[in-house]
Amino acid sequence: MRKKPDRYVFPAVFTYDGDGVAVSFPDLPGCNTCGSDQDEAILMAQDALRGHLSCMEDDNDPIPAPSDFRSVKVDVDEAVVLVEAWMVPLREKTVRKNLTIPAKLAYKAERAGINFSGVLTKALEKELQRL
């Protein structure tokens, strides 16, 4: 399996109006957000891009190459902004799961020094590849 990039950079179109800033990504249909001002729009754009690309990775959808920002056409009330999505925190985030296993199995595994989280993670990855 090919290693996923740690970061992506895509051009976004920022559309300015009296209500704030709308953000869209020409290369990623459906990836849109907005902010009350430019600073908030940038933060929201990073979050939207990370989430959109994470879903694409999870679904094994092909991620397109980003367009050259100079080729993106905009109107007078718009600007092209390069937005970076740092993906590492999303991939490394862990969640706590409570589960039940037979007591005898838990006892033997603890005595053997087995890392329950590590074993479960590997087993889930293997099972998901099988599906």
pLDDT over 70, % of the chain:
99
Residue 6 DSSP one-character state:
S
Average pLDDT, the chain: 92
CATH no., domain 7-92: 3.30.160.250
Q: What angle do CA 28, 20, 26 make, to 5 degrees?
A: 15
Per-residue pLDDT reduced to its tens digit, 8-51: 999 999 999 989 999 999 999 999 999 999 999 999 999 999 99
What residue ranges of the chain are covered by domains with CATH 3.30.160.250?
Answer: 7-92
From start to end of the chain, where are the E strands?
7-17, 20-24, 32-35, 78-86
